[in-house]
A = this chain, B = another copy of it.
Amino acid sequence: MPGTIKEVAERAGVSITTVSRVINGNPKVRQDTRERVYEVIKELGYVPSAIARGLTLGRTHTIGLILPEIADGFFSQVIRGADEAAVRQNFHLLVSTFHSHRSDEELSFRLLGEGRVDGLILMDPTLGDDFLMEFHRSSFPIVVLCKKIKYTNCKYVVIDDLQGAYQAVVHLIKHGYKRIATIRGPLDNYDAFQRLAGYKSALKDYNIKLNPEYIVDGNFQWEGGESAMHILLDLVQPPDAVFAANDPMAIGAMEAVKKRGLSIPKDMAIIGFDDIELARLVTPPLTTVHLPMYELGAMAVESITGMLKGKSTRRKNILKTGLVIRKSCGC
């Protein structure tokens, strides 16, 4: 421990109030007093205790970040974005996973009740609305990630999947592809639904008739993409381009195309969704829709700190995706 405010005060021959003033940049301190205090502070290597401050101010300058998983290409980017935003604002990040806690209740205990954090970022698709409601009632700053909140007015940040899919399909259209198919995700998945909607919307805007045969089911897995692509290739008139609702399916689809001795993108252009690590490593490198996970984490933190500072932040934030153009689309 690098000393306390009391020691500094004694050594500088002033009261602790004065030291506190100096620390907090209060202008009502005579210049020479201030200097003397600073000197002692440096001499002692004194650093104010965040805990004591936390107790008096009721603020810890810490934000909790709860994720379903940490060692994951996406979630780890969220953490990184949150970390950097936190550092920028001089906040700390308490990171933990959801699954490791026995229950929602315990989690709320550990972070909020205990007063460890000034706000909470929650990223968990399984989060119940009732659970959030409880939190929100406590008027505790809380931001939910990647989940539309209907019944409570919790703040949340989501990614605009529809726009991403739209952009991808438009890219294919502008490439000149005429027969654009899609491999969609599971029907009950909200994201999958949005991506399909984006696909449809793009076709519609460019007056391309929707061919029901060109919408084939996938399961968000590699294998699903592969078999879906086989179905498409077996069509009397196969598509010349495919938008897969996620990268694993896109890569599976690429496998199928290659197995038939066809070439990508000459015989079949492919665009994926997610921008996983592997996307740039496959041959040809996969053009795909990048999910702004880094920004998601950063924006969540900013949203929290904004609330803390009393700014009236938006309840809903939508993050735009970005098309990462590689080779599989024909570029």
Question: Which A residues are within 8 Å of any B CB, using their own CB?
Answer: 1-2, 45-52, 54-55, 60, 62, 69-73, 75-77, 79-80, 83-84, 86-87, 92-97, 100-101, 109-110, 113-116, 138, 277-278, 281, 294
Q: How far is the CB of A207 from chain B (nearest CB, A)?
A: 40
Q: Kindly list chain B residues whose C-beta atoms are within 8 Å of the C-beta of A55.
A: 49, 51-52, 55
Q: How far is the CB of A250 from chain B (nearest CB, A)?
A: 14
Cβ contact within 8 Å between B97 and A94:
no
Cβ contact within 8 Å between B80 and A115:
no
Q: Kindly list chain B residues whose C-beta atoms are within 8 Å of the C-beta of A48.
A: 114
Given A71-B294, A76-B72, the answer on whether A51 and B115 have CB atoms closer than 8 Å is: yes
With beta carbons under 8 angstroms apart, the residue of B47, B87, B113 that contacts A45 is B113
How many copies are assembled?
Answer: 2
Cβ contact within 8 Å between A113 and B2:
yes
Q: How far is the CB of A300 from chain B (nearest CB, A)?
A: 15
CA distance A83 to B71 in the complex (A): 11
Q: How far is the CB of A60 from chain B (nearest CB, A)?
A: 6
Q: Kindly list chain B residues whose C-beta atoms are within 8 Å of the C-beta of A51.
A: 51, 54-55, 60, 114-116
Q: How far is the CB of A169 from chain B (nearest CB, A)?
A: 27
